Chain A
Amino acid sequence: AQSVTQPDIHITVSEGASLELRCNYSYGATPYLFWYVQSPGQGLQLLLKYFSGDTLVQGIKGFEAEFKRSQSSFNLRKPSVHWSDAAEYFCAVVLYNQGGKLIFGQGTELSVKP
């Protein structure tokens, strides 16, 4: 069955420190993967997406993610976190053979210490 797992429910990092949010997926075909960010009370903002090609994808706000097929992972990284990055982060896979619905991970809440 298709699934997305984000092992870390909550992560706290210091401002200026590096960040890595983990995401593992289970999907029988070539996955199309996404990372979204959600600020409190807000909707979803797309950070980046992986369809094919270069396994290291660049997104907005200085984020990047690396697709590793052998590990079924799509981890999100940022070299230097800013206080404004505090938010909820969701990894998702699109089921393109089922009309395009998304399966989301549980989400990781990021807190940033000054």
Chain B
Amino acid sequence: GAVVSQHPSRVICKSGTSVKIECRSLDFQATTMFWYRQFPKKSLMLMATSNEGSKATYEQGVEKDKFLINHASLTLSTLTVTSAHPEDSSFYICSAPGTGNTEAFFGQGTRLTVV
């Protein structure tokens, strides 16, 4: 099956700094990738949809300037958490749709801790 690689798996950063999370499709091209966020003991909520060659689409309530998404190529999407605060600490996970958009291939996820 298709493989999506997400890095880093864990990151600890200081408040006020920025953190970049990468999501790569290893054996297929992904014109679209989805970014989800999971708060502790909660479900996964879609944050934004990244589109290769165009601006990302953000879900309601997600701060565009805080969560910068770039889809620079057909195999790479990045999420940058800018000016991180402790409340940004979360599990972030990306996914790429499969053929016909009928399934999803997930990255391994990134656990971000802001101290």
Query: Size of chain B's interface in residues, with CB distance under 8 A?
Result: 24
A106 beta carbon closer than 8 Å to chain B = yes
Which stretch (B11-19, B67-75, B80-88, B91-99) binds chain A?
B91-99
Q: How far is B101's CA from A99's CA once the two chains are assembled, in angstroms?
A: 6
Residues of chain A with a CB closer than 8 A to B98's CB: 100
Chain A, residue nearest B30 (CB): A100
Residues on B with C-beta less than 8 A from A49 are 103
The verdict on A44 contacting B102 (CB below 8 Å), with A90-B43, A101-B49 known, is: no
Q: Which of under 10, 10 to 19, 20 to 34, or 35 or more describes the interface residues of A? A: 20 to 34
Q: What 0/1 readout, one digit per residue, does chain B (15-42) give for beta carbons within 8 Å of chain A?
A: 0000000000000000010101000011
Question: Hey, what's the 0/1 contact readout for B90-115 against A, CB within 8 Å counting as 1?
Answer: 00010101101111101111010000
Chain B interface, >50% SS class: strand
* Distance A63 CA – B75 CA, assembled complex (angstroms): 33
Give the residue name and chain of the A residue nearest to B51 (CB). A99
- Docked complex Cα distance between A96 and B43 (Å): 20
Q: A100-B101, A102-B34 are in contact. Are A107 and B106 (CB under 8 A)?
A: no
A70 to B: closest C-beta gap in Å: 22
Q: A90-B44, A100-B103 are in contact. List 4 more A-B contacts (CB 8 A).
A: A43-B106, A44-B106, A99-B49, A105-B43
Chain B residues engaging chain A, CB cutoff 8 angstroms: 32, 34, 36, 41-46, 49, 93, 95, 97-98, 100-104, 106-109, 111
17 pairs, CB–CB < 8 Å, chain A vs chain B: A32-B102, A41-B111, A42-B109, A44-B44, A44-B106, A94-B102, A97-B101, A99-B97, A99-B101, A100-B97, A101-B34, A102-B34, A102-B44, A102-B46, A103-B46, A104-B43, A107-B42
